[in-house]
Amino acid sequence: MSAFKGLLKKDFGISKFWFLFWLIFLLTLLIIPLGMEIYFHMPLSFLPMAVILLLGGHVFFLPAMLLSLLHLEGKTQLWLYNPQTSKVLFLSKITVSFVYQVISQVLLTGVGLTIYQFYKNQFFIEVSTLFKGILVLNAGLLLIALYMSCWALFYWTIYHSLGKFPAVKNWRWLVVLILFFVLNTISTLIAKVEFIKEIVNKWTIPVLMNTNFNYKQGGWEINLNAAEIPLAGIIVYVITAFCLFLISCWLLDRKVEV
């Protein structure tokens, strides 16, 4: 555990300036629409949508931060000689990226709640429904980002593993691209099989996640509707993410040169 804490401290240390830059960039993206609302005297015209778009874009934040940490680590080649297992090395970076995403989402959620507090008379939604929607949205963003991070980790290790083969070293990006399309095509074809569709959709969980925004009469009307999430689909995604992580660890254990 102490070794893992040491890795966390190191990863936080090498990435804190990148994250600080991201926060400044994020605040800048919020100030611009706020300034437009003040200049045009049109409150709630730009800032709420900016918050929603930035928050939704966080499905890419965690994998992007993870890849940046892997890139920084790869410059030193230190993990090739690190006594810790590849699982610990990867988990440290995923944990750091996860913490950064939570902080970033909390910041944007706080901005959104502040807007709601100042203009709550212009938002047509029940408070209990609003907070349920906020919790589901943030949890969903984190889970999707974690899933995408496992894919990013998988393709990253595939790309660098191919570097050991001179015949494809200069074309490995093309191999990864082809692999990406092949795997997506296979998964799409499997999902279209009626027998599999029936099994996947047999058990579902109702979740408030379908959101409709309408700007009318000087305010925002927000409707949250329940969507049926396939339980079997969630299990498949969890198993897939776990397998991708294990494959990535196995490739790193073979001394991937980055």
Q: Residue 33, Cα to own-chain centre: how many angstroms?
A: 24
Quote the percentage of the chain above a pLDDT of 90.
38
**pLDDT over threshold 70, residue 49:** yes
Between these two residues, 127 and 77, which has the higher pLDDT value?
127
Q: What is the pLDDT of residues 151-167, one digit of tens each?
A: 999 999 999 888 888 88
Task: Give the per-residue pLDDT at 125.
Answer: 66
Category of 35 on φ-ψ map: left (φ > 0), alpha (ψ -120 to 50) or beta: alpha
- The whole-number average pLDDT for the span 2-11 is 84
Which tokens is 53 given? 């778009």
Other C-beta atoms within 10 Å of 62: how many? 26
- Which residues have CB under 8 Å from 4's CB, separation 6+? 84, 88, 91, 92
Task: Give the per-residue pLDDT at 191.
Answer: 78
Between these two residues, 232 and 92, which has the higher pLDDT value?
92
Instruction: Tell me the pTM.
Output: 0.87
**pLDDT over threshold 70, residue 130:** yes
- Which residues have CB under 8 Å from 114's CB, separation 6+? none
- The whole-number average pLDDT for the span 114-139 is 77
Return mean pLDDT, the chain: 83
Between these two residues, 256 and 157, which has the higher pLDDT value?
157
Domain positions in the chain = 3-254
Residue 183's pLDDT band (cuts 50, 70, 90): very high
Dihedral (CA of 182, 185, 189, 191) sign = positive
Cβ-in-10-Å burial (0-12, 13-18, 19+) of 44 comes to middle
